[in-house]
Structure formats: structure tokens, C-alpha cells
Amino acid sequence: MRRSARFRAAAVAVAGIALASCSTEAHRASGGRPVELRLAIGGESEEGYDPTLGWGRYGSPLFHSTLLARDADLNIVNDLATRYEVSPDRLVWTVDVRADAKFSDGRPVTARDVAYTFTAASKSGGATDVTVLREAVAVDEDTVELRLTKPQSTFVNRLVSLGIVPEHAHGPDYARKPVGSGPFVFEQWDEGQQLIVRRNDAYYGAKPAFERVVFVFTGEDASLAAARSGQVDLAALPSSLATGEIPGMRLTRVESVDNRGIAFPFQPDEGRRTDEGRPIGNDVTSDLAVRRAVNVALDRRALVDGVLNGFGRPATGPVDGLPWHEPATAVPDDDPEGAKRVLEAAGWVDADGDGVRERGGRRAEFPLLYPAGDSVRQGLALAVADMLKPIGVAVTAQGESWEVIRTRMHADPVLFGWGSHDATEMHNLYSSAQAGVELWNPALYRSPVVDAELDAAMAAADPGQAAAHWKAAQRQFGPGADAAWAWLVNLDHTYYADACLDLGKLQVEPHGHGWPITRGIAGWSWTC
Amino acid sequence: MELDVLTAGSAARPVVVAVAARVSRLLLLLTAVAVGSFVLMVNSPVDPVAAYVGADVASLGSAQRALIAERWGLDDPAHERFLSWFGNLLGGDFGFSLTFNRPVLEVIGDKFLTSLALMALAWLLSGLVGFALGLVAGTRRGRFADRAITWFSYTLASAPTFWVGLLLLYVFAVSWNWAPVCCAVPIGVPADEVGLGDRLAHLALPAITLSVVGIAPVVLHTRQAVVEALASDHVAFARAQGERGLGLVLHRVVRNAAAPALLLQFGSIGELFGGSVLAEQVFSYPGLGAATTAAALGQDVPLLLGIALFTTVLVFTGNLVGDRVHAALDPRSRLVDVRRKR
């Protein structure tokens, strides 16, 4: 008797839950084209949606429009700007702003708002770097001058990523109530759960096909669950979870420059230490022959297939697939015989027959550090050790905390991951000026040729000229010349998308996962 | 009359002394927690600026890093940062959370309200279910029901919260599509259209998951207390007078068994909070647990310190209430207290 009562109570509770969840199915079951899109791609900006603090630097700032934009091939195109030019001394960027743009509160977007946005961002201490700006001035109704303290070609990335905020509405609550001139209007944000945005019908550009877009901020497991139960139309998942079929969805792989590579300590070990007491130098990897041999011996295709389950592509450098990438730097790999010849020519021979070469009493061996707990990097490190054993180079894969890696990275090779749409990163990884600063140029690589090219690229007048210098730098630090790093793989980012959802042409994505896919969100369409 | 005055006088003083002792103990504890947490955070290997910026960290110049560090006050020596934080705290200012770009107290207040529903429901569930199962197991000692319940409790005790959560999520939300997969409100519904039923539906799975943390100890302790009570003289006496079955358990055993169960329930508030960190993560439930994770990963020191202090008070209060309730239900424990003091 008592037992059956308890069962009945449970059944009622379960039925209640089932009824309540019916409402979540409504957007699909109604038939026809959905007017609402639901995405589980992460990317919640916990501090709010203020571009001057860094919101929108990946993907689309949604509520805001930017002066320029990158198309699917990463070329720079106009957005809010109708034209921009850089002065001959490269210190003044003059931007013409279109006159028909309006903020979602109805007020027009003026040159003053643009100037205000850049000034605010340069002082904000947020996650977007506008420190090179000296001042931003609205010279007339639709023209802004951005005056820099020094030439910087990568400043164009700020014009691409910094959403324009209205001066009249940019107060303390702005990050939680953003007003902008982008394709969508902020509707509701349930912190930690979801962001609901509405189509901006007053938007000057092509209007999105969906009236509303809901971003659900779930963890990986819940995202997978949401995709499987049909509650979202697009879910970003790590490739380890992107196995198996989901009915009605297709697996979309997006190429990325989210790379992994080995930084070889470039200095010989002369017993020197940094100011913090960290050891500098490695007598094995400071030898050009060793670095080249490693680059030649590795089978990058096998790394992609074996460690990434095929979700990736071999890496030739730090910027694969970006407009400033130099494909000619790639060397033929999977060539152990070639690697052996390089080592032998440099005097590395296995005299004692233990399988490891030596030269002048120094064994060809080194540890390879990776952050413990990162299973992809662990797999790569172990595979690299296996691939180098046959050529007589002994590698020990060692998982360590970042704290330990920081203290050893000038003396031992480390498996890093980078990748950005902002070429500043390449400068930071290879410039001798950034040697030992933070995690940049951890190997303390120094090359006057590369420094000159990087500086020239930073000071270049336009993206095309800058690209020429970026490419020249790659030819020098790449595996055919200094072989400063051994780049291994670029990861693919994996998404499950509704079979009816057309995402258009997708960009090569930067390091980090999720939000970059929203770049073309205004152009997404429903095909069935 | 004279006697009454005497006892009243002698009773009042110890109460004041006891309260003062408790309060000063709490203050000492809070100071220790604040200092300890701060030392741990300052020495943590997470680089706060890198954590804040995320994946694009290498495209930031050193000038921008300096700006961020300045906004966060990272340049000052650790002890100065601590002292200024502590000084503000005494004035009632808990500081500013950089992860959420809002005052710490606002964040804690908001998130705790969401967590409160979850934790309270889970707490009630684990208490009621645990106590009921414990009663059944104790009275049916050695029989099938006892063995099944004990086995169930040991299984629960060794099951990690997040794993139970994932299992429930898979079965109820993915396979059967009965429950929502995430969040505290339905996906895509404007705030003013969210009803109480929606909220309860979203609360069910996380609350069940979280209650799992607390069930096993309550079951096992209740079972033990029931067994002891059933073997005691007063139950033997009642039996001799003809009391049997449910009546005997309700009148002679429940009160004895309730004391340890309640003590455990109130004492388990700390574990409940720990469990909520995991349960909220699995179900993307936006409460204090999820905020703690975000603050820890982002090295948001003011928010983490605020949460640490807040939970300390919570756990301390829970233990205190547990003690009092236990003493009220089981006068023997009060005698032990008094004896110990002398």
C-alpha cells in the first residue's frame, strides 16, 4: 500500500518533467523553416558584452559593427568603414565611416562614436590591445583619424575586431545592456546559461535569415547531450567527442591554425641563467643539424591520423592557411634516411652502438615537456619520441605543470600550441625583443635577419606589404633554414550542425574553439 | 522563588559567554580561511592575465599586459594587496569581481539565490530519502530489504557526483528526452514567460544528482541508530507491553534515530557545496558552484575569497545548528557537553 503510493508520486513527478520539457521542442516540431537558431558553441563573455574590454575579438561581436571585417578567405573588407588609408609615415589611419548606420536605440553612428570607442579601448585594461594608439580624433561628421605612437601594420586587426560603442550610452551598466549597430540586438542574458539575441531590422548590412538566435552556454558533455536530444542546431565539441552519428546532424570540420609545435632551445648551454635564475641553453637542440633532422624525420601525416584521429592537418609553420603564410617553407618529412644523413654530416654518430648518436661525448638526447593533463599533447610527445628513436635521437616525453615548464623552457624543448588571426603573434614568437618575455619566444631564438623582417612587417603600410615581410621571416626561421621550431599539426575544430543549416564558407579558425565560427552568422541560412 | 532567580542568573551568563566564544571562534576561522586562501591563490601557477585573455594571449603586447595588471592591482606586493583587500572588507566592501565585471557581493548574492533552490531541494531529498531508507534497513536488519539498501548506499557513497550526473543526463535527457539537458530556465524563452513548472523541471536532475552526495551517510547512520534503539531496554520494555510493528518504530525509535541523521544533515552542508560545484558544471546550472569554477580558472582573487568566506559562514552555521538540534533531540549529548566543560 505504502509502496504503491510512493510509486504513484514518482510517476506524477516524471510526467510533470516530461510536460515541461515539451516546450523546448517547439521550435523544431512546428514544421517549416525555423525562425530561431540555437547554438551550443561556448564563448560566454562572463564580464559582459563591452567591446572596449575585449568582447567580439573572436568571431562576430553580434550587437556591434566593426570598421572592417575579414571575409571567409581572411581578406580585409569594409564594414562600417567605406574607406581607410594609412599616411605615408604610417602613423595616422584615416577612416571614412558610412552615414546610414544607426545604433539600436535609433541614434546615428558618428565619427565621434568611433573615436570615443578607440580611446576608451586604449585605456580600458581589457583583453584587446590598443596601446599603440596615441589619440583618436573625429575630424568631421564621417571621418576619424587614429593617430599612433609608432607604425604598426597589425593595428588593422583592431579595426577588424573592435566593435563600435555609442558614446552616449557607454556607462557602467553597458557590458550588461549593450547597444550597438550590428546585425543583432541584445535581448536577454541569463548568466551562465544562455544569451538571446534578436535580429536588428535597422541593420545597414545584409539581414540575418533568423529572427532570433539563442546561444546556450553548456559544458562539453551537456552540449553533446543537447545535440543528441535535438535541442540545439549547432554544437561545438572537441574532436574526442566527435565520434558517432547524431541523427539529423552532420559533422562539420573547420580547418584551424590552432597549432602544436616544439620550441627548440636555440642557445648552447654555457651555464647562463635568466634574472629569475632559470637555466638557459641546450647543447643538443642548439645544433642546427639536430633541429633540421627532427623536422625532416617526423611523419606529420601519421601524427594527424594517429593522435588526432584524422581531425587536423600537418603543420608547416605557425600561421598555416592565413594570408601571410609562406607555403614554400615546408620541407619533405617522413624521411628518416635524410635525417640520418644530416646528423652524420654534422658529426653525430652512434660510436658505442647503443642506438643513440653522440658527438664529442654529448648524447643526442633531450626531454620533451608538455603540460600534463593535455591528452593531445601527451599523445604527440610520445609519438614524436617514437619517430625519432630510429634516427638515433633519444626523446623522453615529460608531462609537467606550466609552472615547471616556465622554469625549464629556455633549456628544454616544449610542446606549445598557438594560432591567431593577428600576425602580432608571429612577431611575439620569433622576435629577439620578445625572448623570454612571458611564454613568447621561449627558445630565446635570435636572428638579425628575422628581426629585421618582423620589424619591417610591423611597420609596413598595408597588409600586402606586411605579408611579404612576414613570408620572408618564415623562410628564415622555417625548417629549411634555421628550423627554430618543429611545427607538428594544426587541429581541426569539430561541430555538429543540423543537416539543414548552411554555414556558408568558413574561415581558418584561430586557437580556441567555438566563437570564431560566428563570423559569418548573419549569412547563415536554412536549406530544407 | 529564590532558587529560580539563582538558576536564571547562572544560566544567562554561560549563554552570553557561549555566544561570544562561538562568534570569536568564527572570526578567527574566517581570518585563517582568508589568509590561507589568499596564500594559495597568489602561489597558484595560473597566470591571471593569461587566464583572463584566453587563447589569443600571444597577440597582446607588454604594454597591454601592464594595463591589465594595473586594472587588477597585480603590481603591488602580495601582502599589500591582502591588507588593502582586508581593510576594505572591514568597511563592508568585498571588492570587485573581474570575471563577472561586477561587485563581489552582487555576484555571490545572485548566484547563491540560484544555488539555494538547488541545494535546499537536494538537502531535503537526501535527508528524507536517506532517513526513510535507514529506518527500513534498520528495522529489517539482515533481511533482503536491509541488504539491498545497504548495498545501494555503498554504491552511492563510492559514486562520483559528476558521474551520477552524466548518467542521469544521458538516461533522462538524451535517451528518453524527459528532462532538459541544461540550465535553470528553458532555452530561448524570454524571462517573463518562465513559469514555476519550468524551473522545477530544470531543477530535478541536478537536485537528484546532488542529493546522492548526502544519502549514503544518513542511511548508514540511521540504520545503526535504529538497530541500537531496537536493542535497548526501553524498546524491550515496550515490546513486553505488546507494542509491535510500525507503532513501535514510530513511537520508540524514530526520535533516537533522528538525532544522528539531523546532525549529519546539518554537518553535510560543506559537502553539499562541494558537490554543487560538480553538479552545476554537468548541468550548466548557473549557481555559486559554477561561479566558483569560473573564478578559480580565471584567478579572480576577490571573488574566490568572497566565496571562501561565505561558505565558511555557511558551513559553520550548519554545524552549529546541527549541534543544537542534536542536543535538543538527544539530551544525553548535552550531558556529555557539560561534563566535558567541567
The CATH code of the domain that includes A392 is: 3.10.105.10
Same domain, A17 and A142: yes
Q: What is the mean pLDDT of residues B155-161?
A: 86
A336 or B179: which carries more pLDDT confidence? A336
Same domain, A225 and A307: no
Residues in chain A: 528
Same domain, A207 and A242: yes
Percentage of chain A modeled with pLDDT above 90? 69
Q: What is the mean pLDDT of residues B147-173?
A: 89
Q: How many domains in chain A?
A: 2
CA-based nearest distance B287→chain A, Å: 8
Interface contact flag, A38 B188, Cβ < 8 Å: yes
Q: What is the mean pLDDT of residues A410-417?
A: 95
Closest CA to B184 of B94, B86, B290, B269: B290
Q: Which residues of B touch A170 (CB under 8 A)?
A: none
CB A105 within 8 A of CB A121: no
Q: What is the dihedral of CA A298, A299, A305, A307, to 10 degrees?
A: -10
CA-based nearest distance A191→chain B, Å: 7
Q: Which residues of B touch A231 (CB under 8 A)?
A: 180-181, 187
**Grid coordinates representing A283?**
647543447
At residue A24, does pLDDT exceed 60? no
Q: What is the mean pLDDT of residues B244-266?
A: 83
The per-residue pLDDT for B3 is 44
For residue A44, the Cα-to-chain-centroid distance in whole angstroms is 16
- A125, A193, A226: residue with CB nearest B68: A125
C-alpha–C-alpha distance, residues B73 and B96, integer Å: 11
Q: What is the mean pLDDT of residues A330-350?
A: 94
Phi-psi region of A523 (alpha: psi -120 to 50; beta: other; left: phi over 0): alpha
C-alpha–C-alpha distance, residues B296 and B307, integer Å: 11
Average the pLDDT over each of A332-336, A477-481, B179-183 and give the range with the smallest value.
B179-183
CA-based nearest distance A89→chain B, Å: 22
- A157, A219, A230: residue with CB nearest B282: A219
CA dihedral sign, ordered A472, A476, A477, A481: positive
C-alpha–C-alpha distance, residues A20 and A24, integer Å: 8
Candidates B41, B118, B181: best to mutate against A (most CBs of A within 10 A) is: B181
| Strands A394-400 and A212-216, sheet pairing | unpaired
Same domain, A240 and A317: no
Same domain, A241 and A316: no
C-alpha–C-alpha distance, residues A160 and A324, integer Å: 16
The per-residue pLDDT for B338 is 53
At residue B79, does pLDDT exceed 80? yes
The per-residue pLDDT for A273 is 93
Helix (H, G, I), strand (E, B) or coil at B206: helix
Spatial CB neighbours of A31, under 8 Å, sequence gap ≥ 6: none
A261 or A20: which carries more pLDDT confidence? A261
Query: What chain A residue is nearest to B205 in terms of C-alpha separation?
Result: A17
CB A447 within 8 A of CB A474: no
Question: In CATH, what number is assigned to the domain containing residue A136?
Answer: 3.40.190.10
Confidence of residue A344 (pLDDT cuts 50, 70, 90): very high
Query: What chain B residue is nearest to A512 in terms of C-alpha separation?
Result: B55
At residue B244, does pLDDT exceed 90? no
The per-residue pLDDT for A94 is 96
Q: Which residues of A touch B191 (CB under 8 A)?
A: 188, 190
Candidates B97, B113, B284: best to mutate against A (most CBs of A within 10 A) is: B284
The per-residue pLDDT for A4 is 41
Instruction: Tell me which DSSP letter residue A135 carries.
Output: E
Helices A288-297 & A375-388 angle (0-180, nearest 10): 100
Chain position carrying cell 661525448: A361
Helix (H, G, I), strand (E, B) or coil at A296: helix
Same domain, A401 and A514: no
Confidence of residue B13 (pLDDT cuts 50, 70, 90): low
Instruction: Cite the beta strand spans of A279-364 per DSSP E.
Output: 312-314, 358-359, 362-363
Residue A504 burial (CB count, 10 A): 12
Interface contact flag, A222 B282, Cβ < 8 Å: yes
CA dihedral sign, ordered B320, B322, B326, B328: positive
DSSP string, B145-194: HHHHHHHHHHHHHTS-HHHHHHHHIIIIIIIS--S-SS-SS-TT--GGG-
Confidence of residue A15 (pLDDT cuts 50, 70, 90): very low
Q: What is the mean pLDDT of residues A191-196?
A: 89
Q: Which residues of B touch A402 (CB under 8 A)?
A: 45, 47
Residues in chain B: 342
Average the pLDDT over each of A377-386, B278-287, B331-340 and give the range with the smallest value.
B331-340
The per-residue pLDDT for B337 is 54
At residue A494, does pLDDT exceed 50? yes
Residue A6 burial (CB count, 10 A): 10
- A131, A154, A192: residue with CB nearest B286: A192
- B53, B70, B286: residue with CB nearest A190: B286
Q: What is the mean pLDDT of residues B161-183?
A: 86
Average the pLDDT over each of A263-277, A358-372, B48-62, B94-108 and give the range with the smallest value.
B48-62
Pairs across A and B, CB distance < 8 A? 192
For A97-122, write each residue's pLDDT tens digit.
Answer: 999 999 999 999 999 999 999 999 99
Q: Structural domain of residue A132, as residue ranges?
A: 4-248+499-526
Same domain, A277 and A149: no
The per-residue pLDDT for B333 is 65
Candidates A19, A21, A119: best to mutate against B (most CBs of B within 10 A) is: A21
A19 or B201: which carries more pLDDT confidence? B201
**Grid coordinates representing A525?**
541560412
The per-residue pLDDT for B38 is 87
Interface contact flag, A57 B61, Cβ < 8 Å: no
Instruction: Tell me which DSSP letter residue A63 carries.
Output: T
Same domain, A437 and A483: yes
> Cα–Cα distances in Å, from B199 out to A27, A232, B194, B203, B207?
19, 20, 7, 6, 12
Same domain, A389 and A503: no
Interface contact flag, B56 A511, Cβ < 8 Å: yes
The per-residue pLDDT for A358 is 94
Instruction: Tell me which DSSP letter residue B252 carries.
Output: I
At residue A183, does pLDDT exceed 90? yes
Q: Which residues of A touch B135 (CB under 8 A)?
A: none
Q: Average pLDDT, whole number, for chain A? A: 89
The per-residue pLDDT for A26 is 40
Candidates A19, A24, A155, A428: best to mutate against B (most CBs of B within 10 A) is: A24
At residue A436, does pLDDT exceed 50? yes
Q: What is the mean pLDDT of residues A150-175?
A: 93
At residue B197, does pLDDT exceed 90? no
Q: Which amino acid is at B177?
A: N
The per-residue pLDDT for B336 is 57
- B71, B174, B284: residue with CB nearest A193: B284
C-alpha–C-alpha distance, residues B177 and B205, integer Å: 12
CA-based nearest distance B264→chain A, Å: 25
> Cα–Cα distances in Å, from B313 out to A449, B26, B109, B294, B307?
61, 8, 14, 21, 10
For residue A311, the Cα-to-chain-centroid distance in whole angstroms is 16
Q: What is the mean pLDDT of residues A136-151?
A: 94
At residue B220, does pLDDT exceed 80? yes
C-alpha–C-alpha distance, residues A328 and A210, integer Å: 43
Residue A435 burial (CB count, 10 A): 18
Interface contact flag, B64 A217, Cβ < 8 Å: no
First to last CA, chain A: 54
Max CA distance (Å), chain B = 86
Same domain, A230 and A348: no
Same domain, A237 and A265: no
Interface contact flag, A190 B183, Cβ < 8 Å: yes
pTM for the model stands at 0.81
The 3-state secondary structure of A389-441 reads: HHHCCEEEEEEECHHHHHHHCCCCCEEEEECCCCCHHHHHHHCHHHCCCCCCC
The 3-state secondary structure of A192-217 reads: CCEEEEEECCCCCCCCCCCCEEEEEC
Same domain, A368 and A232: no
> Cα–Cα distances in Å, from B92 out to A209, A272, B85?
50, 50, 11
Closest CA to B50 of B75, B70, B71, B68: B68
Percentage of chain A modeled with pLDDT above 70? 94
